[in-house]
Chains A and B, each alone.
Chain A
Amino acid sequence: MNTATDGEIVQFDNVGLRYGADREVLSDISFTLYPGNFYFLTGASGAGKTSMLRLLYLAQRPSRGAIRMFGTDAITMPRERLPLLRRRLGVVFQDFRLVEHLSAFDNVALPLRVAGVAERELARPVADMLEWVGLTDRMHAVPAQLSGGEQQRVAIARAVIARPDMLVADEPTGNVDPDMAVKLLRLFEALNRLGTTVVVATHDVHLLKKVPDSLIMRLDKGRLSDPTGALRYPPRRPVAREA
């Protein structure tokens, strides 16, 4: 293991987003995320958290402004280069977005298969992830046969299985019991300690207290506030990286 302080992982500069001809759902968003930090994105329902996360995980282009990710201009970069950027991200969608006709096992294996990991190499880590989220006995079930909480755990296993550089999670604990919520947060923290930048969107204020070193971004009616000063004066932490 060695340590390094990297440059910014995400940079938003005066970003605005509107859908169609409606008013902007995000306005004048500017911030920088640094590697190895743990961020909470908070705000009331309708504040624009999901829209902001969609920009973060490259599902949406902004209406204006500039976004840089991993040192690359994410707005003007050629479309065919997006997949390599996306493979550095892990995403937990609010509505899970599991593939309906694939089993829990195949859903978790999807990021590895997309990246060309051989079948013989993925069986063990996928089974291990499913065991960790307590779904070993449900690995052959398709999403329709799983409860909301089980689907959420599959979605989280899928998001982290490839050890992403940045994990983006939209209300990841919304459908699980308190014990599992704590366990999942500790998983995110562990990943964070391994060098993954974590961004968790939540409206649960109790969750914020459970990660003491976290930085908070607050969205209010599409505008970003900076209650902890983390965005204006971002702490630069040594980031643990494996050789």
Chain B
Amino acid sequence: MDFHLPSALSGNRRSLTSSGDGALIAGARLSGPMPWVIAIMVALTVIAAAAGLSLANTARAAADELSGGVTIQIVEANPAERTRQADAVAQALRAVPGVIEAHAVSQAEVERLVEPWLGARGGGEDEAIPVPALVDARLRGAVTGEVLGGLRRTVRAVAPSARVDAQSSWLKPVFGAIDTLQWLALALVALLGLAMAAAVLLAVRNALGVNRDTIEIVHLLGGTDAQIARLFQRSIGVDAAGGGAVGLALGALVVLFLGRQFAGLGAGLVDSGALGLLDWTVLALIPVAGLVLAVLTARITVLRTLVRML
């Protein structure tokens, strides 16, 4: 038999100390539904995060609007005296340093405000239920307890039965509820992140089981754990990138739709929750964070599994 050595074996021996993973086990894909699981997780995370950001915007806008506001109620049965005291209070407040603006709210405006509860009123002098006169004042800074105490003294000098309240104190329960909802949104985002990591972990473990023989062969041929981990990272990275893009699109559509629905309500507090450019940037980063989380989960899972193999 004519024998010749394959030319692949002649010449200098190669250095085999570097590491590559070009197409080692290119067919070792994760399970099929993985991109869709990631898409759903990312979509839900985008919606939860959008809710949290919107609530934060609402709370911030309300706080900005109310932080310097003070309302004075003048409870006086005699309408003429009530009006006189209201004007006097407004005038006294305008003389107080730090007060930007103070004006008596017109009787027509007050009646419009109470109309949902008391019904339409004639506006005549013989009113059955007297409605307090209101004075609206705006201060340069926040209304602290000390500032409020000073204002009360000023007001009671001209209207002894007047009641002075910081507007922010009325919305304290609302701010409390908004805070709770924000924490809830944050918890939802964290839980969805955990759920995604768990889904990736299960998929990677499954893929490791399915490809166990291949991994063992690659090991015996000199493949390192890091090389094998990179294959899974790449696979889950592709899935997470595709799923994340779809999830972001779905989530953004839902957020836009809900935004339009709420905008239609025309309520000031709700309108102030609209998302800005920075908020949308944060939402756009969610799939990126999802990708990083998925890749890291895959890497840690693979390395921790492989360390048990020889």
Contact = CB atoms under 8 A, between A and B. Distances in A.
B8 A129 contact: yes
Nearest to B307: A79
A194 to B, nearest CB: 7
A44 interface: no
Nearest to B18: A116
A221 to B, nearest CB: 26
B310 A117 contact: no
Contact of B9 (A57, A97, A194): A194
A161 B18 CA distance: 16
Given A116-B19, A163-B13, A110 B24 contact: yes
B242 interface: no
Residue from B6, B26, B218, B307 with most neighbouring chain A CB atoms (10 Å): B6
Given A86-B222, A99-B214, A114-B24, A160 B16 contact: no
Interface string B1-23: 10101111100111111111111
A128 B8 contact: yes
A179 B3 CA distance: 12
Contacts of B80: none
A183 B13 CA distance: 22
Interface stretch (B68-76, B119-127, B223-231): B223-231
Interface in A197-232: none
Contact of A83 (B15, B217, B224): B224
A145 to B, nearest CB: 15
A113 interface: yes
Place the interface of chain A in its size category.
Answer: 35 or more
Contacts of A163: 9, 13-14
Given A114-B20, A116-B18, A163-B14, A59 B6 contact: no
B281 to A, nearest CB: 39
Question: Chain A at the B interface: mostly helix, strand, loop or mixed?
Answer: helix
Contacts of B22: 113, 119
Interface in B34-60: none
B222 A84 contact: yes
B6 to A, nearest CB: 4
A102 B213 CA distance: 13
B25 interface: yes
A45 interface: no
B222 A87 contact: yes
A168 B17 CA distance: 20
Nearest to A142: B27
Interface stretch (A13-21, A25-33, A185-193): A185-193
Contacts of B15: 115
Contacts of B213: 97, 100
Contact of A61 (B221, B222, B310): B310
B24 to A, nearest CB: 6
B163 interface: no
A6 to B, nearest CB: 15
Nearest to B214: A99
Given A86-B222, A128-B7, A162 B16 contact: yes
B220 interface: yes
A162 B13 CA distance: 8
A82 B223 CA distance: 9
Given A86-B220, A101-B28, A190-B5, 7 more contacts: A59-B220, A113-B22, A113-B23, A114-B223, A119-B22, A179-B1, A186-B3
26 contacts: A59-B220, A59-B310, A79-B307, A83-B223, A84-B17, A86-B219, A86-B220, A88-B16, A101-B27, A106-B23, A112-B14, A113-B20, A114-B21, A116-B18, A117-B14, A117-B16, A125-B6, A128-B6, A128-B8, A129-B6, A132-B8, A161-B9, A162-B14, A183-B1, A191-B9, A242-B12
Closest 8 CB pairs of A and B: A125-B8, A87-B222, A116-B20, A116-B18, A101-B27, A115-B16, A132-B6, A86-B222
